[in-house]
């Protein structure tokens, strides 16, 4: 491939993508590079049928994996087009396969507090409650600094994907635990630190939640992102506008937020059955 390194630099410094996103695109690049080498071609000389066949090689993979690969190709060829390395965007012929619609998994409020009750210290308790009560991602959680927290306004400045900032809210329970945690652990810069006074990483959070779920005997697949799903679910159930939820979650496109609309449908049915004269008793 002729433009691999320049593309990765473009993702990092011009698109400001997260490190993990760049790594996943880099893996897609490797697959594409192997395929091009086998054809004895490069990204500019490959033809439409060969590009389509590349996607077809992954037909037995999950739909999400195929979609990710197509997203990479759209990104790569858009880069080539923007930089005037090609006259047309070759990836325009690629269509996304339909995703299988799956209901979002979430925890009940009782299950969330079962996790909290199994925590051995204030830091772990704070991790669970921040994820559940603010809906932030793990990558955003570990980057919170003391300067990001406004105790008077009950807000935290979150540094999201692409270095975009937003404010999330917390409640009195989180405020009390925050204060007690800071007094006990005495962090200097990053809020959440380990025993060596270093910033915790996302692997710590994954292992923590997995182990807490085992201790709490929760018979579900429990992982950090399920707390974000739980936050979104209960916000909608309580009547939160979906566009406000989009802002709180930091979704650039509202279509991403609509994965939670099954909750709205359930809520509307309940309201219909409760209030509409034709719906009562159904």
- Out of 225, 262, 266, 267, the active site residue is 225
The question of whether 35 is a catalytic residue gets the answer no
* Cα 254 to Cα 275: distance, rounded to the nearest angstrom: 29
- Out of 161, 166, 202, 266, the active site residue is 161
The question of whether 74 is a catalytic residue gets the answer no
The question of whether 102 is a catalytic residue gets the answer no
The question of whether 251 is a catalytic residue gets the answer yes
The question of whether 225 is a catalytic residue gets the answer yes
DSSP state of 148: G
Instruction: Say how many Å lie between the first and final Cα of the chain, rounded.
Output: 62
Side by side, which strands form the sheet with 155-159? 149-150, 155-159, 165-169
Cα–Cα separations (whole angstroms), residue 195 to 39, 180, 186, 205: 52, 17, 11, 14
- Out of 137, 181, 229, 234, the active site residue is 137
* Cα 227 to Cα 132: distance, rounded to the nearest angstrom: 5
* Cα 76 to Cα 54: distance, rounded to the nearest angstrom: 15
- Out of 123, 133, 229, 251, the active site residue is 251
The question of whether 123 is a catalytic residue gets the answer no
DSSP, residue by residue, 43-102: TTT--HHHHHHHHHTTTTS-HHHHHHHHHHHHHHHHHHHHTTS-SS-GGGG--PPPPPP-
Residue whose C-alpha is closest to residue 114's, from 183, 217, 26 = 217
- Out of 90, 123, 133, 228, the active site residue is 228
Among all residues, which ones are annotated catalytic? Answer: 137, 161, 225, 228, 251, 260
């Amino acid at each position: 491939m002729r433009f691999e390194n320049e593309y990765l630099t473009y993702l990092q410094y011009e698109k400001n993508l997260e490190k993990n996103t760049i790594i996943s695109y880099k893996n897609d690049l490797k697959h594409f590079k192997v395929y091009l080498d086998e054809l004895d071609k490069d990204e500019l000389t490959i033809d439409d049928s060969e590009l389509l066949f590349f996607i077809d090689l992954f037909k037995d993979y999950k739909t999400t994996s195929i979609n990710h690969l197509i997203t990479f190709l759209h990104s790569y060829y858009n880069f080539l087009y923007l930089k005037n390395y090609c006259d047309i965007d070759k990836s325009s012929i690629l269509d996304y396969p339909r995703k299988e619609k799956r209901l979002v998994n979430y925890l009940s409020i009782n299950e969330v507090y079962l996790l909290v009750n199994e925590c051995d210290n204030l830091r772990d308790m704070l991790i669970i409650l921040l994820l559940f009560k603010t809906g932030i991602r793990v990558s955003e959680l570990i980057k919170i600094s003391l300067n990001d927290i406004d105790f008077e306004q009950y807000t935290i400045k979150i540094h999201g994907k692409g270095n975009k900032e937003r404010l999330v809210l917390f409640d009195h329970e989180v405020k009390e635990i925050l204060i007690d945690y800071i007094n006990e652990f005495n962090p200097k810069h990053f809020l959440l630190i380990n025993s060596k006074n270093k910033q915790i990483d996302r692997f710590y959070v994954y292992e923590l939640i997995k182990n807490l779920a085992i201790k709490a005997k929760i018979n579900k697949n429990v992982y950090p992102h399920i707390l974000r799903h739980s936050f979104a679910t209960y916000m909608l159930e309580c009547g939160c506008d979906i566009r406000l939820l989009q802002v709180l979650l930091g979704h650039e496109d509202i279509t991403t937020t609509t994965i939670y609309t099954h909750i709205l449908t359930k809520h509307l049915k309940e309201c219909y059955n409760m209030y509409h004269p034709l719906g009562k008793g159904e």
